[in-house]
Structure 1
Protein backbone atom coordinates (compact mmCIF):
# COMPACT_ATOMS: atom_id res chain seq x y z
CA UNK A 1 0.00 0.00 0.00
CA UNK A 2 1.42 3.33 -1.02
CA UNK A 3 1.49 6.21 1.42
CA UNK A 4 1.56 9.88 0.50
CA UNK A 5 1.87 12.91 2.74
CA UNK A 6 2.07 16.62 2.08
CA UNK A 7 4.05 19.37 3.74
CA UNK A 8 2.31 22.41 5.15
CA UNK A 9 1.32 25.28 2.96
CA UNK A 10 4.12 27.06 1.03
CA UNK A 11 6.26 23.91 1.01
CA UNK A 12 7.05 21.09 -1.44
CA UNK A 13 5.43 17.61 -0.85
CA UNK A 14 7.15 15.03 1.38
CA UNK A 15 8.18 11.84 -0.45
CA UNK A 16 8.49 8.47 1.30
CA UNK A 17 11.45 6.37 0.42
CA UNK A 18 10.20 3.51 -1.68
CA UNK A 19 12.63 1.03 -0.22
CA UNK A 20 12.71 1.65 3.50
CA UNK A 21 9.44 3.51 3.87
CA UNK A 22 10.73 6.47 5.91
CA UNK A 23 9.74 10.01 5.12
CA UNK A 24 12.21 12.39 3.53
CA UNK A 25 11.66 15.85 4.99
CA UNK A 26 11.04 18.61 2.52
CA UNK A 27 13.45 21.51 2.40
CA UNK A 28 12.48 25.08 1.58
CA UNK A 29 13.75 28.55 2.20
CA UNK A 30 11.71 30.65 4.55
CA UNK A 31 10.39 33.73 2.87
CA UNK A 32 10.24 35.58 6.18
CA UNK A 33 13.96 34.94 6.70
CA UNK A 34 14.70 36.23 3.22
CA UNK A 35 12.66 39.31 3.93
CA UNK A 36 14.63 39.92 7.12
CA UNK A 37 17.92 39.67 5.23
CA UNK A 38 16.75 42.05 2.50
CA UNK A 39 15.44 44.53 5.08
CA UNK A 40 18.74 44.46 6.98
CA UNK A 41 20.71 44.96 3.78
CA UNK A 42 18.49 47.89 2.81
CA UNK A 43 18.97 49.43 6.26
CA UNK A 44 22.74 49.06 6.01
CA UNK A 45 22.76 50.62 2.53
CA UNK A 46 20.63 53.55 3.71
CA UNK A 47 22.93 54.03 6.70
CA UNK A 48 25.97 54.04 4.42
CA UNK A 49 24.41 56.63 2.10
CA UNK A 50 23.42 58.83 5.05
CA UNK A 51 26.94 58.67 6.47
CA UNK A 52 28.43 59.55 3.08
CA UNK A 53 26.07 62.49 2.67
CA UNK A 54 26.89 63.70 6.18
CA UNK A 55 30.60 63.55 5.40
CA UNK A 56 30.22 65.49 2.15
CA UNK A 57 27.85 68.14 3.51
CA UNK A 58 29.60 70.86 5.57
CA UNK A 59 28.21 71.51 9.01
CA UNK A 60 26.38 74.70 9.88
CA UNK A 61 29.22 75.86 12.10
CA UNK A 62 31.75 75.46 9.27
CA UNK A 63 29.57 77.56 6.96
CA UNK A 64 28.95 80.30 9.51
CA UNK A 65 32.47 80.71 10.87
CA UNK A 66 34.07 82.32 7.73
CA UNK A 67 31.18 84.77 7.32
CA UNK A 68 31.32 85.71 10.99
CA UNK A 69 35.07 86.31 10.76
CA UNK A 70 34.67 88.46 7.63
CA UNK A 71 31.87 90.51 9.13
CA UNK A 72 33.79 91.08 12.38
CA UNK A 73 36.89 92.18 10.43
CA UNK A 74 34.82 94.60 8.37
CA UNK A 75 33.13 95.97 11.48
CA UNK A 76 36.47 96.52 13.22
CA UNK A 77 37.99 98.25 10.17
CA UNK A 78 34.94 100.51 9.85
CA UNK A 79 35.09 101.43 13.53
CA UNK A 80 38.82 102.24 13.29
CA UNK A 81 38.24 104.35 10.17
CA UNK A 82 35.37 106.17 11.87
CA UNK A 83 37.41 106.94 14.98
CA UNK A 84 40.34 108.12 12.85
CA UNK A 85 38.06 110.47 10.92
CA UNK A 86 36.77 111.95 14.17
CA UNK A 87 40.28 112.56 15.49
CA UNK A 88 41.48 114.12 12.23
CA UNK A 89 38.40 116.32 11.91
CA UNK A 90 38.63 117.52 15.49
CA UNK A 91 42.38 118.25 15.27
CA UNK A 92 42.14 120.03 11.94
CA UNK A 93 39.09 122.00 13.09
CA UNK A 94 41.01 123.13 16.19
CA UNK A 95 44.33 124.17 14.64
CA UNK A 96 43.57 124.87 10.99
CA UNK A 97 42.48 128.38 9.98
CA UNK A 98 38.70 128.83 9.87
CA UNK A 99 36.15 131.60 9.48
CA UNK A 100 36.07 134.15 12.30
CA UNK A 101 32.27 134.45 12.23
CA UNK A 102 29.54 131.87 12.75
CA UNK A 103 27.78 132.85 9.52
CA UNK A 104 27.55 130.56 6.52
CA UNK A 105 30.66 130.40 4.37
CA UNK A 106 30.15 132.81 1.45
CA UNK A 107 32.78 131.06 -0.73
CA UNK A 108 30.28 128.67 -2.33
CA UNK A 109 30.92 127.09 -5.75
CA UNK A 110 30.26 129.51 -8.58
CA UNK A 111 31.12 132.67 -6.65
CA UNK A 112 34.12 134.92 -7.20
CA UNK A 113 35.42 134.30 -3.68
CA UNK A 114 35.41 130.55 -4.29
CA UNK A 115 37.49 131.01 -7.45
CA UNK A 116 39.91 133.37 -5.67
CA UNK A 117 40.62 130.85 -2.91
CA UNK A 118 41.07 128.05 -5.44
CA UNK A 119 43.48 130.02 -7.65
CA UNK A 120 45.37 131.20 -4.59
CA UNK A 121 45.79 127.65 -3.32
CA UNK A 122 47.19 126.15 -6.52
CA UNK A 123 49.26 129.25 -7.33
CA UNK A 124 50.94 129.07 -3.91
CA UNK A 125 51.74 125.41 -4.60
CA UNK A 126 53.39 126.36 -7.88
CA UNK A 127 55.35 129.22 -6.33
CA UNK A 128 56.49 126.93 -3.53
CA UNK A 129 57.94 124.54 -6.10
CA UNK A 130 59.80 127.37 -7.83
CA UNK A 131 61.29 128.54 -4.52
CA UNK A 132 62.19 125.08 -3.22
CA UNK A 133 63.97 124.21 -6.48
CA UNK A 134 66.06 127.38 -6.04
CA UNK A 135 64.84 128.96 -9.29
CA UNK A 136 63.97 132.32 -7.72
CA UNK A 137 66.41 134.10 -5.39
CA UNK A 138 69.04 131.39 -5.97
CA UNK A 139 71.42 130.68 -3.16
CA UNK A 140 74.08 128.11 -2.39
CA UNK A 141 73.00 127.82 1.23
CA UNK A 142 69.61 127.21 2.89
CA UNK A 143 67.66 130.44 3.20
CA UNK A 144 64.19 131.60 4.16
CA UNK A 145 62.88 131.56 0.59
CA UNK A 146 63.64 127.89 0.01
CA UNK A 147 62.26 127.09 3.46
CA UNK A 148 59.01 128.90 2.64
CA UNK A 149 58.82 127.05 -0.65
CA UNK A 150 59.11 123.75 1.20
CA UNK A 151 56.27 124.69 3.59
CA UNK A 152 54.11 126.51 1.03
CA UNK A 153 51.59 123.67 0.62
CA UNK A 154 50.93 123.50 4.36
CA UNK A 155 50.97 127.26 4.98
CA UNK A 156 49.05 128.52 1.92
CA UNK A 157 47.60 125.80 -0.32
CA UNK A 158 45.69 123.74 2.24
CA UNK A 159 44.26 126.74 4.20
CA UNK A 160 43.15 128.44 0.96
CA UNK A 161 41.33 125.34 -0.26
CA UNK A 162 39.80 124.69 3.17
CA UNK A 163 38.42 128.25 3.21
CA UNK A 164 36.00 127.34 0.42
CA UNK A 165 32.63 125.71 0.91
CA UNK A 166 33.84 122.43 -0.58
CA UNK A 167 32.35 118.96 -0.51
CA UNK A 168 32.59 116.62 2.47
CA UNK A 169 35.09 114.35 0.71
CA UNK A 170 37.39 117.23 -0.26
CA UNK A 171 37.24 118.72 3.24
CA UNK A 172 38.16 115.34 4.68
CA UNK A 173 41.14 115.05 2.30
CA UNK A 174 42.33 118.53 3.31
CA UNK A 175 42.01 117.64 7.00
CA UNK A 176 44.21 114.59 6.50
CA UNK A 177 46.73 116.65 4.53
CA UNK A 178 46.84 119.31 7.24
CA UNK A 179 48.14 116.66 9.66
CA UNK A 180 50.19 114.59 7.20
CA UNK A 181 52.22 117.38 5.58
CA UNK A 182 54.06 118.51 8.77
CA UNK A 183 55.05 114.89 9.45
CA UNK A 184 56.58 114.62 5.97
CA UNK A 185 58.39 117.95 6.30
CA UNK A 186 59.88 117.04 9.67
CA UNK A 187 60.74 113.35 9.15
CA UNK A 188 62.00 113.37 5.54
CA UNK A 189 64.96 115.83 6.07
CA UNK A 190 66.48 113.32 8.53
CA UNK A 191 67.06 110.99 5.59
CA UNK A 192 67.52 113.41 2.69
CA UNK A 193 68.23 117.09 3.18
CA UNK A 194 66.63 118.60 0.09
CA UNK A 195 64.00 121.36 -0.09
CA UNK A 196 62.87 120.29 -3.53
CA UNK A 197 62.47 116.66 -2.44
CA UNK A 198 60.28 117.63 0.51
CA UNK A 199 58.10 119.84 -1.69
CA UNK A 200 57.78 116.99 -4.21
CA UNK A 201 56.76 114.58 -1.44
CA UNK A 202 54.12 117.06 -0.21
CA UNK A 203 52.76 117.47 -3.74
CA UNK A 204 52.62 113.70 -4.27
CA UNK A 205 50.82 113.21 -0.94
CA UNK A 206 48.38 115.98 -1.91
CA UNK A 207 47.25 114.35 -5.14
CA UNK A 208 47.28 110.81 -3.71
CA UNK A 209 45.01 111.92 -0.87
CA UNK A 210 42.66 113.65 -3.30
CA UNK A 211 42.57 110.57 -5.53
CA UNK A 212 41.71 108.40 -2.51
CA UNK A 213 39.06 110.57 -0.90
CA UNK A 214 37.55 111.97 -4.09
CA UNK A 215 37.61 108.47 -5.70
CA UNK A 216 39.15 109.64 -8.95
CA UNK A 217 40.21 106.14 -10.01
CA UNK A 218 36.68 104.76 -9.54
CA UNK A 219 35.25 107.59 -11.62
CA UNK A 220 37.70 106.84 -14.43
CA UNK A 221 36.68 103.16 -14.41
Structure 2
Protein backbone atom coordinates (compact mmCIF):
# COMPACT_ATOMS: atom_id res chain seq x y z
CA UNK A 1 0.00 0.00 0.00
CA UNK A 2 2.82 2.32 0.84
CA UNK A 3 4.55 1.39 -2.30
CA UNK A 4 1.66 2.35 -4.40
CA UNK A 5 1.35 5.75 -2.69
CA UNK A 6 4.98 6.55 -3.08
CA UNK A 7 4.91 5.57 -6.66
CA UNK A 8 1.91 7.73 -7.32
CA UNK A 9 3.48 10.89 -5.81
CA UNK A 10 5.43 13.02 -8.25
CA UNK A 11 9.12 13.20 -8.02
CA UNK A 12 11.13 16.37 -7.82
CA UNK A 13 12.59 15.69 -11.23
CA UNK A 14 9.18 15.46 -12.75
CA UNK A 15 8.18 18.72 -11.14
CA UNK A 16 11.20 20.46 -12.56
CA UNK A 17 10.56 19.01 -15.96
CA UNK A 18 6.90 20.03 -15.95
CA UNK A 19 6.56 23.43 -14.20
CA UNK A 20 3.27 24.62 -12.86
CA UNK A 21 1.35 26.61 -15.49
CA UNK A 22 -0.02 28.95 -12.83
CA UNK A 23 3.44 30.21 -11.91
CA UNK A 24 4.45 30.59 -15.54
CA UNK A 25 1.38 32.64 -16.38
CA UNK A 26 1.87 34.93 -13.38
CA UNK A 27 5.47 35.57 -14.43
CA UNK A 28 4.43 36.50 -17.95
CA UNK A 29 1.75 38.82 -16.57
CA UNK A 30 4.30 40.56 -14.38
CA UNK A 31 6.62 41.05 -17.37
CA UNK A 32 3.78 42.47 -19.46
CA UNK A 33 2.80 44.79 -16.62
CA UNK A 34 6.35 46.10 -16.26
CA UNK A 35 6.55 46.59 -20.04
CA UNK A 36 3.28 48.53 -20.04
CA UNK A 37 4.54 50.69 -17.18
CA UNK A 38 7.75 51.47 -19.05
CA UNK A 39 5.83 52.32 -22.21
CA UNK A 40 3.47 54.54 -20.25
CA UNK A 41 6.34 56.35 -18.56
CA UNK A 42 7.97 56.99 -21.94
CA UNK A 43 4.69 58.25 -23.38
CA UNK A 44 4.14 60.57 -20.42
CA UNK A 45 7.69 61.83 -20.66
CA UNK A 46 7.26 62.53 -24.36
CA UNK A 47 3.94 64.23 -23.81
CA UNK A 48 5.43 66.33 -21.01
CA UNK A 49 8.18 67.46 -23.35
CA UNK A 50 5.74 68.43 -26.09
CA UNK A 51 3.52 70.29 -23.67
CA UNK A 52 6.50 72.12 -22.22
CA UNK A 53 7.65 73.19 -25.67
CA UNK A 54 4.19 74.32 -26.66
CA UNK A 55 3.84 76.22 -23.41
CA UNK A 56 7.19 77.89 -23.89
CA UNK A 57 6.41 78.89 -27.48
CA UNK A 58 3.03 80.21 -26.46
CA UNK A 59 4.61 82.28 -23.71
CA UNK A 60 7.26 83.67 -26.04
CA UNK A 61 4.72 84.52 -28.77
CA UNK A 62 1.38 85.28 -27.11
CA UNK A 63 -1.59 85.24 -29.49
CA UNK A 64 -2.85 88.58 -30.66
CA UNK A 65 -6.24 89.45 -29.31
CA UNK A 66 -8.54 90.92 -31.99
CA UNK A 67 -9.80 94.37 -31.31
CA UNK A 68 -13.48 94.32 -30.56
CA UNK A 69 -15.73 96.27 -32.85
CA UNK A 70 -17.74 97.67 -30.00
CA UNK A 71 -14.66 98.90 -28.10
CA UNK A 72 -13.35 102.39 -27.95
CA UNK A 73 -10.62 101.76 -30.51
CA UNK A 74 -13.08 100.36 -33.00
CA UNK A 75 -15.34 103.36 -32.63
CA UNK A 76 -12.44 105.74 -33.11
CA UNK A 77 -11.32 103.85 -36.22
CA UNK A 78 -14.82 103.88 -37.67
CA UNK A 79 -15.25 107.57 -36.90
CA UNK A 80 -11.89 108.41 -38.43
CA UNK A 81 -12.67 106.35 -41.53
CA UNK A 82 -15.90 108.29 -42.19
CA UNK A 83 -14.82 111.45 -43.93
CA UNK A 84 -17.50 114.14 -44.26
CA UNK A 85 -18.22 115.55 -47.70
CA UNK A 86 -16.44 118.84 -48.05
CA UNK A 87 -17.54 121.91 -49.96
CA UNK A 88 -14.74 121.27 -52.42
CA UNK A 89 -16.14 117.85 -53.35
CA UNK A 90 -19.62 119.32 -53.84
CA UNK A 91 -18.17 122.01 -56.11
CA UNK A 92 -16.46 119.36 -58.23
CA UNK A 93 -19.67 117.36 -58.63
CA UNK A 94 -21.71 120.45 -59.49
CA UNK A 95 -19.13 121.73 -61.93
CA UNK A 96 -18.88 118.36 -63.67
CA UNK A 97 -22.68 118.03 -63.94
CA UNK A 98 -23.14 121.54 -65.25
CA UNK A 99 -20.30 121.11 -67.74
CA UNK A 100 -22.11 118.03 -69.07
CA UNK A 101 -25.62 119.47 -69.43
CA UNK A 102 -25.34 123.25 -69.47
CA UNK A 103 -24.69 125.06 -72.78
CA UNK A 104 -21.08 126.03 -73.33
CA UNK A 105 -18.95 127.73 -75.98
CA UNK A 106 -18.50 125.82 -79.22
CA UNK A 107 -14.85 126.89 -79.58
CA UNK A 108 -11.87 126.72 -77.24
CA UNK A 109 -11.03 130.40 -77.68
CA UNK A 110 -11.25 132.87 -74.84
CA UNK A 111 -14.68 134.22 -74.01
CA UNK A 112 -15.01 137.64 -75.67
CA UNK A 113 -17.78 138.76 -73.28
CA UNK A 114 -15.38 140.23 -70.76
CA UNK A 115 -16.45 142.98 -68.35
CA UNK A 116 -16.63 146.37 -70.02
CA UNK A 117 -17.47 145.09 -73.50
CA UNK A 118 -20.78 145.51 -75.30
CA UNK A 119 -21.28 141.73 -75.51
CA UNK A 120 -20.96 141.44 -71.74
CA UNK A 121 -23.63 144.11 -71.30
CA UNK A 122 -25.94 142.45 -73.84
CA UNK A 123 -25.82 139.11 -72.01
CA UNK A 124 -26.40 140.77 -68.65
CA UNK A 125 -29.39 142.82 -69.86
CA UNK A 126 -30.81 139.80 -71.64
CA UNK A 127 -30.56 137.70 -68.46
CA UNK A 128 -32.36 140.10 -66.13
CA UNK A 129 -34.90 141.17 -68.77
CA UNK A 130 -35.91 137.54 -69.32
CA UNK A 131 -36.34 137.15 -65.56
CA UNK A 132 -38.79 140.06 -65.28
CA UNK A 133 -40.58 139.08 -68.47
CA UNK A 134 -41.02 135.56 -67.11
CA UNK A 135 -42.48 137.02 -63.93
CA UNK A 136 -45.03 139.00 -65.94
CA UNK A 137 -46.02 135.86 -67.83
CA UNK A 138 -46.26 133.78 -64.65
CA UNK A 139 -48.51 136.33 -62.94
CA UNK A 140 -50.76 136.29 -66.04
CA UNK A 141 -50.08 139.94 -66.84
CA UNK A 142 -49.07 139.31 -70.47
CA UNK A 143 -51.35 137.21 -72.68
CA UNK A 144 -53.82 136.72 -69.84
CA UNK A 145 -55.74 133.45 -69.80
CA UNK A 146 -58.08 131.65 -67.47
CA UNK A 147 -56.42 128.30 -68.20
CA UNK A 148 -52.82 127.16 -67.91
CA UNK A 149 -51.09 127.81 -71.23
CA UNK A 150 -47.63 127.69 -72.79
CA UNK A 151 -46.92 131.35 -72.01
CA UNK A 152 -47.33 130.96 -68.29
CA UNK A 153 -45.31 127.75 -68.40
CA UNK A 154 -42.46 129.54 -70.21
CA UNK A 155 -42.66 132.34 -67.65
CA UNK A 156 -42.27 129.79 -64.86
CA UNK A 157 -39.14 128.31 -66.51
CA UNK A 158 -37.73 131.64 -67.79
CA UNK A 159 -35.01 131.92 -65.14
CA UNK A 160 -33.66 128.47 -65.91
CA UNK A 161 -34.04 128.67 -69.71
CA UNK A 162 -32.90 132.26 -70.36
CA UNK A 163 -31.54 134.09 -67.30
CA UNK A 164 -28.94 131.58 -66.11
CA UNK A 165 -27.59 130.70 -69.61
CA UNK A 166 -27.29 134.41 -70.50
CA UNK A 167 -25.38 135.21 -67.32
CA UNK A 168 -23.16 132.14 -67.66
CA UNK A 169 -22.22 133.21 -71.19
CA UNK A 170 -20.30 136.18 -69.75
CA UNK A 171 -16.74 136.04 -68.52
CA UNK A 172 -17.83 136.42 -64.91
CA UNK A 173 -15.95 135.85 -61.68
CA UNK A 174 -15.36 132.44 -60.16
CA UNK A 175 -17.84 132.95 -57.31
CA UNK A 176 -20.57 134.15 -59.65
CA UNK A 177 -19.97 131.17 -61.95
CA UNK A 178 -20.32 128.82 -58.95
CA UNK A 179 -23.60 130.51 -57.97
CA UNK A 180 -24.96 130.06 -61.51
CA UNK A 181 -23.85 126.42 -61.55
CA UNK A 182 -25.71 125.73 -58.31
CA UNK A 183 -28.80 127.51 -59.62
CA UNK A 184 -28.71 125.48 -62.82
CA UNK A 185 -29.23 122.34 -60.73
CA UNK A 186 -31.43 123.80 -57.97
CA UNK A 187 -34.14 125.55 -59.98
CA UNK A 188 -35.37 122.41 -61.84
CA UNK A 189 -35.82 120.70 -58.47
CA UNK A 190 -37.91 123.61 -57.21
CA UNK A 191 -40.01 123.77 -60.38
CA UNK A 192 -40.82 120.06 -60.13
CA UNK A 193 -41.37 119.84 -56.37
CA UNK A 194 -43.42 123.00 -55.72
CA UNK A 195 -46.42 122.10 -57.98
CA UNK A 196 -47.03 119.03 -55.82
CA UNK A 197 -47.70 121.39 -52.91
CA UNK A 198 -49.07 124.49 -54.64
CA UNK A 199 -50.15 124.58 -58.26
CA UNK A 200 -49.31 128.16 -59.15
CA UNK A 201 -47.02 129.53 -61.86
CA UNK A 202 -46.50 132.74 -59.92
CA UNK A 203 -45.42 130.87 -56.76
CA UNK A 204 -42.89 128.80 -58.68
CA UNK A 205 -41.40 131.88 -60.36
CA UNK A 206 -41.23 133.68 -57.02
CA UNK A 207 -39.42 130.73 -55.42
CA UNK A 208 -36.93 130.67 -58.29
CA UNK A 209 -36.29 134.41 -57.90
CA UNK A 210 -35.74 134.09 -54.14
CA UNK A 211 -33.35 131.17 -54.70
CA UNK A 212 -31.51 133.18 -57.36
CA UNK A 213 -30.77 136.20 -55.16
CA UNK A 214 -30.12 134.05 -52.06
CA UNK A 215 -27.49 132.08 -53.98
CA UNK A 216 -25.87 135.28 -55.20
CA UNK A 217 -25.86 136.70 -51.67
CA UNK A 218 -24.18 133.54 -50.39
CA UNK A 219 -21.55 133.12 -53.09
CA UNK A 220 -20.74 136.78 -53.65
CA UNK A 221 -20.82 137.67 -49.97
CA UNK A 222 -23.41 140.42 -50.15
CA UNK A 223 -24.35 140.01 -46.50
CA UNK A 224 -20.73 140.21 -45.37
CA UNK A 225 -20.18 143.38 -47.36
CA UNK A 226 -23.27 144.98 -45.86
CA UNK A 227 -22.02 144.22 -42.34
- Band the TM-score falls in, shorter-chain normalisation: 0.5 to 0.7
Q: Which residue of 2 aligns with 1:193?
A: 199
Alignment equivalent of 2:104, drawn from 87, 94, 98: 98
Distance 1:127 1:193 in 2: 20
Q: Which residue of 2 aligns with 1:163?
A: 169
Distance 1:120 1:100 in 2: 20
Residues matched between the structures, number: 149
The 5-angstrom pairing of residues 21-60 of structure 1 reads: none
Unaligned runs of at least 5 residues, structure 2: 1-78
Q: Which residue of 1 aligns with 2:143?
A: 137
After the TM superposition, which segments of 4 or more aligned residues of structure 1 sit over 4 Å from their partners? none
Q: Which residue of 1 aligns with 2:121?
A: 115
TM-score (norm 2): 0.63
RMSD over aligned CA atoms reads: 1.8
Q: Which residue of 1 aligns with 2:213?
A: 207
- Deviation of 1:220 (Å): 1.1
Establish whether residue 85 from structure 1 lines up as the match of residue 113 from structure 2.
no
Distance 1:159 1:97 in 2: 7
Bigger helix fraction: 2
- Deviation of 1:129 (Å): 0.1
SS in 2 for 1:180: helix
- Deviation of 1:81 (Å): 1.0
Residues 168-206 of structure 1, C-alpha deviations (whole Å, 9 max, x = no match): 000000000000000000000000000000000000000
Distance 2:115 2:99 in 1: 21
SS in 2 for 1:83: helix
Larger radius of gyration: 2
Residues 71-90 of structure 1, C-alpha deviations (whole Å, 9 max, x = no match): x99xx56x521111000001
Q: Which residue of 2 aligns with 1:59?
A: none
Establish whether residue 180 from structure 1 lines up as the match of residue 196 from structure 2.
no
Distance 2:116 2:156 in 1: 31
TM-score (norm 1): 0.65
Distance 2:144 2:183 in 1: 29
SS in 1 for 2:86: helix
